[in-house]
């Protein structure tokens, strides 16, 4: 029995160490290759080596549990097993089986591959002078997997002894349900003759011919046993036990595997250690050598520093795609979520469960995020979400509500929040990543949270007053009552509303506190008989007849009003306008920050008086090995959070496992319209965010090196630009790298351009004239940007701009800045960095906010132009730059604007500088909007605000000027409050918090 226990312990050692290193290094092996090998060895060790066979088993075999030993005649009946089949025809256990863990002896435990027998073959016999017993070298095979073990003659004898014990146990009627059921299931007629252990052994094995004969007989015996037993043995993966020993490598701490004690093996990795205890020094040495060999062969790429100091290596030929603004991004995310088969990973700075990923909303709640996740969870997909746990006094994103809402949807949706501010003493830093990973094969990475206010398109609308306006309802009512021709009425969301009869009450505008009345309600008309949804314009697409009638009704009504607008949707063409932003999604956070997030469909600002703030953002998607790397980062954070927070240590929150890179290219789903690129995943991570001993700032390093190596131009879009290190308040070197590159170009007398697009104001609630955090951030931004680099010629090299737009709301002209939330760098039309990292110390230094980014380097080129010369530009980078330039310069509406050559004087001065300057001048005249370079101090600010603009004095003249606006680009007002000290006053709350908060 002692030998049995020893060998059983060694078996579980196999489990722990090999899965330990699978999770540690994400080595180039299937997760289930190692798992199955370990289980096979475990079962064979338990069933073949720890038992002994009798020469004659006929007396006791009748009482054996035929299900356990696989002797039943019913074994030919197909048993439903959750297995997949690859193109080669070899079955494999799906990765999702890691979440269906049961005890090793449970009947439902899935140990073996379907239709893949376990075979055993004795390859060699080793003889030693000091040890007379020979050692048999045995090869075990199961499917594509091979394992080699060494066993002595006594282990074969042990097999017989334990089988006898088992048979005897089956004869004893123990008072347990499982034992009784097992005994009842035995059918004597189904019992077959077990292979017998060959006679002989002991001293007879001293002769060579006896050893050779024994080798053949043992091999035959093992084969006969396995033919019977491989399929129905009671075994299990017992992954829940193994996964608790999952670690990650630290690239700065070399992997170590050594024996500190005589019979102990210590494995050091990722600032932790695993101690394996063995019965002898020889066993410990064998294990150490095997582990070292395994790591050298398969873990090299995961245990060393890569370019930019990143945890991930460069991956070639990765299908990649970029996104400008949230519309196409969220649509592709929704489609990818629908294709998920095993896992979904999501981490965001802020997540709003009720947002619609596809708009306009014409299919009810089908494409609402929480409904998608609930639908996939019901299909068996495991969903894991990590949210930033905010300091509630400082932020109102209410992550507790998001977690509670998601957790209530389905038991397979698991949500963690991090950090715990008290226990970890982390109050200043945030998890700022935005990641969605599907089956560890498709990964979305960028700056777009799945949250309110993020959905937008290239139009950047300011208004969204609903499906129809009151003037449209009036025109439709008049058209229905009489055939008399009526005056043509606009149906646009920006049109003014005329006074109508107050006959019928429309639903009260939630959050505003007033009722709008009209004679005819289109909403009540088209909703009659339809399935109710949470959104005012949500329509259940499953009712095709009602949808058809609704389309006909809208067509007739809008035709009578004399103005028809067409919308292409996923369910056909709808006539008229629709609401794109519902409830809290219609926002202007500078005017008012979000409140009452637990009431998602209640408006919190009056959309009839206040324009929304458009959102400009960038994101991307990668596949294959790059997606595996993004998943590895998520898994590392998840497992670290599970370890650190006691509330997540229960089995209801499982440890996650990374998939192998060797199968990364077997894509079951790929986002359409991708381009092949070379990709490397970057991040900002530290001990508090990911549990690593030495922080990583590979995003910062990549920015600096790409800027330094750029030859023609740099294009940057970023939410912040706080750089130009003074080693006192600001430490990141990105601004310095830009200045050094411009100075080098000036000395070499070469053409070089730098384009920077950033928000005109920081994203803080409040009036710009009252100071606060907005002014503090503006101070550091101006400090970074307002630095002449090459005397007075700096404008020939760098242009700093923002975005602004205008519209008509309720009969009056309105304007608002477009909030630039992008984190984008394009260099020379061949290199792109997209991620979540802002240009400030919080994002770049690694020790503060956690971030993820991706650097793309084109492997496919396309003909282009650079300074009037032919140029081979990268397909990925060029298309992205053209989309950005055309959007912000208005080239989609004005084909005369040429954006093909990014550095020529004709483009830089006559297009970029000219449009941005003209747009800024017109907005100053019409709206007298802030910030403005005409305001250098607070006295001028008061005078500037007291004078009305043309929008109020002469709306006709104002409209004429606004028609000259092209795109959204405006020059950044570098002179705004340049004569004022924008540092917070002593005693204010902004002055009381550390400066690092703002930088």
Residue-wise pLDDT tens digits, 203-223: 555 566 667 777 787 777 777
Mean pLDDT of all residues in 431-458: 96
Same domain, 452 and 491: no
Please say if 524 is a catalytic residue: no
Q: Is residue 535 predicted with pLDDT exceeding 60? A: no
Same domain, 427 and 497: no
**8-state DSSP, 653:** S
Q: In CATH, what number is assigned to the domain containing residue 183? A: 3.30.1520.10
pLDDT of residue 570: 45
User: Which residue among the candidates 828, 841, 901, 951 is catalytic per the annotation?
Assistant: 828
Same domain, 88 and 235: yes
Buried b (16+ CB within 10 A) or exposed e, 681-696: bbbbbbebbbbbeebb
Query: Would you say residue 856 lies in a domain?
Result: no
pLDDT of residue 579: 83
Mean pLDDT of all residues in 836-860: 94
Q: Is residue 900 predicted with pLDDT exceeding 70? A: yes
Q: Is residue 568 predicted with pLDDT exceeding 60? A: no
DSSP labels, 418-448: E--HHHH---S--B---EEEETTTEEEEES-
Closest CA to 303 of 253, 346, 259: 253
Name the 3-class secondary structure at 927.
helix
Same domain, 206 and 299: no
Cα pseudo-dihedral 681, 686, 689, 692, rounded to 10: 90
pLDDT of residue 768: 66
Residue 552, C-beta contacts closer than 8 angstroms, at least 6 positions apart: none
pLDDT of residue 988: 67
Tokens 């790397």 sit on residue = 629
pLDDT of residue 371: 96
Which range is most confident: 17-21, 221-225, 632-636?
632-636
Please say if 374 is a catalytic residue: no
| Confidence tier at 591 by pLDDT (50, 70, 90) | confident
Query: Would you say residue 530 lies in a domain?
Result: yes
Domain that holds residue 297: 256-304
CA–CA distance, 608 with 457 (Å, rounded to integer): 21
**Which H or E element spans position 517?**
strand 517-518
Q: How far is CA 282 from the centre of its chain?
A: 45
pLDDT of residue 8: 42
Q: Is 662 exposed, middle or buried (0-12, 13-18, 19+ CB in 10 A)?
A: middle
| Confidence tier at 905 by pLDDT (50, 70, 90) | very high
Token pair belonging to 359 = 């708009």
**8-state DSSP, 356:** B
Q: Is the peptide bond before 360 cis (omega within 30 degrees of 0)?
A: yes
Please say if 821 is a catalytic residue: yes
Token pair belonging to 396 = 């109102």
Q: In the predicted model, what is the mean pLDDT of the chain?
A: 75
Same domain, 429 and 536: no
Same domain, 237 and 279: no
pLDDT of residue 213: 76
Please say if 432 is a catalytic residue: yes
pLDDT above 90 covers a percentage of the chain that reads 40
Q: Is residue 731 predicted with pLDDT exceeding 60? A: yes
Buried b (16+ CB within 10 A) or exposed e, 153-163: bebbbbbbbbb
Mean pLDDT of all residues in 506-517: 36
Query: Would you say residue 750 lies in a domain?
Result: no
User: Which residue among the candidates 623, 659, 821, 875 is catalytic per the annotation?
Assistant: 821
CA–CA distance, 379 with 853 (Å, rounded to integer): 31
Name the 3-class secondary structure at 756.
strand
Q: Lowest-confidence range among 314-318, 362-366, 408-412, 979-983? A: 979-983
This prediction's pTM: 0.76
Same domain, 55 and 154: yes
User: Which residue among the candidates 434, 625, 659, 806 is catalytic per the annotation?
Assistant: 434
User: Which residue among the candidates 321, 823, 875, 886 is catalytic per the annotation?
Assistant: 823
For residue 846, the number of C-alpha atoms closer than 13 Å in the C-beta half-sphere is 21
Query: Would you say residue 886 lies in a domain?
Result: no
First-to-last CA distance in the chain?
Answer: 66
Name the 3-class secondary structure at 399.
helix
Of the two residues 754 and 150, the one the predictor is more confident about is 754
Question: In three state form, how does the secondary structure of 814-869 look?
Answer: EEEECEECCEEEEECCCEEEEECCCECHHHHCCCCCEEEEEEEEECCEEEEEECCE
Query: Would you say residue 944 lies in a domain?
Result: no
Of the two residues 196 and 124, the one the predictor is more confident about is 124
Cα–Cα distances in Å, from 393 out to 119, 227, 583?
64, 67, 24
User: Which residue among the candidates 432, 460, 633, 645 is catalytic per the annotation?
Assistant: 432
Q: Lowest-confidence range among 219-223, 250-254, 300-304, 977-981? A: 250-254
CA–CA distance, 945 with 941 (Å, rounded to integer): 6
Is the distance from CB of 588 to CB of 606 less than 8 angstroms?
no
Same domain, 203 and 277: no
Same domain, 220 and 262: no
Please say if 552 is a catalytic residue: no
Query: Would you say residue 261 lies in a domain?
Result: yes
Same domain, 623 and 531: no
pLDDT of residue 434: 96
Q: In CATH, what number is assigned to the domain containing residue 404? A: 3.30.870.10
Closest CA to 559 of 486, 463, 465: 486
Same domain, 230 and 260: no
Counting the structural domains of the chain, the total is 4
Token pair belonging to 194 = 């077990």
Is the distance from CB of 93 to CB of 83 less than 8 angstroms?
yes
pLDDT of 160-198, one tens digit each?
Answer: 777 667 767 777 778 887 777 767 766 554 444 455 666
Closest CA to 462 of 575, 547, 543, 580: 580
pLDDT above 70 covers a percentage of the chain that reads 66
Query: Would you say residue 44 lies in a domain?
Result: yes
Name the 3-class secondary structure at 563.
coil
CA–CA distance, 557 with 205 (Å, rounded to integer): 99
CA–CA distance, 407 with 377 (Å, rounded to integer): 11
Q: Is the peptide bond before 23 cis (omega within 30 degrees of 0)?
A: no
Q: Is residue 617 predicted with pLDDT exceeding 90? A: yes
Is the distance from CB of 850 to CB of 689 less than 8 angstroms?
yes
Q: Find residue 417's DSSP bridge partners.
A: 387
Same domain, 20 and 138: yes
pLDDT of residue 996: 81
CA–CA distance, 488 with 486 (Å, rounded to integer): 6
**Helix-helix angle 369-378:399-407, to 10 degrees:** 30
Q: Is residue 755 predicted with pLDDT exceeding 90? A: yes
Query: Would you say residue 570 lies in a domain?
Result: yes
Q: Is residue 853 predicted with pLDDT exceeding 80? A: yes
pLDDT of residue 278: 80
Among 215, 243, 271, where does a domain finish?
A: 243
**DSSP H helices in 268-322:** 281-298
| Confidence tier at 639 by pLDDT (50, 70, 90) | very high
Please say if 525 is a catalytic residue: no
């Amino acid at each position: 029995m002692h030998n049995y226990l020893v060998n059983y312990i060694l078996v579980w050692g196999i489990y722990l160490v090999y899965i330990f290193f699978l999770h540690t290094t994400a080595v180039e092996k299937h997760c289930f290759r190692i798992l199955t090998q370990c289980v096979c060895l475990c079962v064979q060790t338990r069933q073949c080596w720890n038992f002994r066979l009798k020469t004659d088993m006929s007396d006791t075999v009748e009482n054996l549990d035929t299900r356990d030993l696989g002797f039943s005649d019913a074994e030919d009946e197909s048993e439903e097993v959750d297995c997949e089949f690859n193109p080669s025809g070899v079955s494999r256990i799906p990765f999702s089986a890691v979440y269906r863990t049961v005890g090793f002896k449970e009947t439902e435990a899935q140990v073996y591959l379907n239709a893949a027998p376990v075979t055993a073959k004795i390859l060699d016999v080793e003889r030693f002078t000091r040890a007379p017993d020979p050692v048999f070298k045995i090869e075990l095979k199961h499917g594509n997997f091979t394992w080699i073990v060494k066993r002595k003659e006594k282990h074969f004898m042990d097999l017989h002894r334990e089988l006898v014990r088992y048979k005897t146990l089956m004869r004893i009627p123990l008072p347990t349900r499982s034992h009784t059921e097992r005994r009842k299931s035995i059918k004597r007629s189904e019992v077959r003759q077990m292979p017998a252990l060959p006679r002989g052994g002991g001293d007879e094995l001293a002769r060579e011919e006896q050893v050779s004969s024994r080798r053949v007989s043992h091999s035959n015996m093992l084969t006969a046993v396995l033919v019977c037993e491989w399929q129905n043995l009671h075994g299990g993966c017992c992954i829940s036990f193994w996964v608790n020993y999952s670690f990650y490598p630290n690239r700065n701490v070399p992997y170590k595997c050594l024996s500190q004690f005589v019979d102990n093996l210590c494995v050091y990795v990722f600032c932790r250690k695993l101690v394996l205890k063995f019965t002898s020094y020889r066993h410990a040495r064998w294990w150490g050598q095997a582990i070292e060999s395994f790591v050298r062969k398969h873990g090299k790429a995961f245990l060393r520093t890569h370019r930019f100091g990143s945890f991930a290596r460069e991956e070639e030929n990765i299908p990649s795609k970029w996104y400008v603004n949230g519309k196409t991004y969220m649509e592709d995310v929704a489609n990818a979520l629908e294709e998920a088969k095993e896992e979904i990973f999501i981490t965001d700075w802020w997540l709003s469960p009720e947002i619609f990923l596809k708009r306009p909303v014409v299919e009810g709640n089908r494409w609402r995020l929480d409904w998608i996740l609930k639908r996939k969870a019901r299909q068996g997909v495991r969903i894991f979400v990590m949210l930033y746990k905010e300091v509630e006094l400082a932020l109102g994103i209410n992550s507790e509500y998001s977690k509670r809402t998601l957790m209530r949807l389905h038991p397979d949706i698991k949500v963690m929040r991090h950090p715990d501010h008290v226990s970890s003493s982390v109050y200043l830093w945030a998890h700022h990543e935005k990641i969605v990973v599907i089956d560890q094969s498709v990964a979305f990475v960028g700056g777009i949270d799945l949250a309110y206010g993020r959905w937008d398109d290239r139009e950047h609308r300011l208004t969204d007053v609903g499906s129809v306006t009151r003037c449209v309802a009036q025109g439709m009512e008049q058209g229905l009552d009489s055939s008399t021709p009526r005056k043509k009425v606009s149906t646009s969301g920006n049109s003014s509303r005329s006074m109508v009869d107050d006959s019928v009450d429309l639903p009260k505008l939630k959050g505003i506190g007033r009722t709008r009345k009209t004679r005819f309600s289109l909403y009540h008309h088209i909703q009659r008989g339809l399935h109710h949804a949470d959104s005012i314009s949500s329509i259940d697409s499953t009712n095709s007849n009602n949808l058809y009638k609704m389309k006909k009704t809208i067509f007739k009504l809008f035709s009578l009003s004399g103005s028809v607008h067409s919308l292409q949707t996923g369910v056909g063409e709808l006539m008229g306008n629709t609401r794109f932003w519902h409830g809290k999604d219609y926002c202007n956070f500078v005017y008012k920050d979000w409140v009452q997030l637990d009431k998602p469909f209640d408006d919190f600002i009056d959309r009839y008086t206040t324009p929304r703030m458009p959102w400009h953002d960038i994101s991307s998607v990668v596949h294959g090995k790059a997606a595996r790397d993004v998943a590895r980062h998520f898994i590392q954070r998840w497992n670290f959070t599970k370890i650190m927070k006691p509330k997540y240590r229960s089995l209801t929150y499982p440890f996650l496992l990374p998939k192998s890179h060797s199968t990364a290219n077997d894509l079951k789903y790929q986002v359409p319209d991708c381009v092949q690129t070379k990709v490397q995943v970057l991040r900002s991570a530290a001990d508090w965010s990911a549990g690593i001993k030495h922080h990583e700032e590979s995003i910062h390093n990549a920015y600096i090196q790409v800027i330094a190596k750029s030859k023609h131009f740099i294009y940057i879009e970023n939410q912040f630009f706080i750089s130009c290190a003074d080693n006192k308040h600001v430490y990141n070197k990105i601004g310095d790298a830009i200045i050094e590159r411009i100075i080098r170009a000036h000395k070499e007398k070469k053409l070089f351009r730098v384009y920077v697009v950033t928000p005109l104001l920081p994203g803080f609630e409040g009036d710009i004239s009252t100071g606060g955090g907005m002014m503090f951030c503006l101070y550091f931004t101006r400090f970074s940007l307002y630095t002449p680099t090459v005397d007075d010629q700096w404008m020939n090299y760098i242009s700093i701009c923002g975005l602004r737009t205008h519209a008509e709301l309720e009969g009056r002209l309105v304007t608002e800045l477009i909030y630039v939330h992008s984190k984008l760098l394009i260099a020379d039309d061949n290199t792109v960095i997209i991620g979540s990292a802002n240009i400030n110390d919080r994002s770049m230094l690694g020790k503060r906010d956690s971030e993820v980014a991706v650097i793309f380097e084109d492997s496919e080129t396309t003909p282009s132009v650079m300074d009037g010369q032919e140029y081979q530009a990268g397909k990925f980078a060029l298309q992205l730059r053209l989309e950005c330039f055309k959007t912000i310069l208005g080239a989609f509406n004005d084909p005369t604007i040429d954006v093909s050559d990014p550095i020529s004087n004709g483009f830089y001065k006559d297009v970029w500088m000219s449009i941005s300057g003209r747009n800024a001048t017109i907005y100053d005249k019409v709206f007298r909007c802030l910030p403005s370079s005409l305001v250098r101090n607070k006295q001028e600010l008061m005078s500037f605000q007291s004078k009305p603009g043309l929008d109020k004095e002469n709306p006709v003249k104002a409209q004429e000027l606004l028609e000259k606006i092209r795109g959204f680009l405006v020059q950044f007002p570098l002179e705004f409050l340049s004569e004022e000290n924008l540092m917070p006053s002593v005693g204010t709350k902004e002055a009381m918090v550390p400066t690092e908060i703002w930088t």
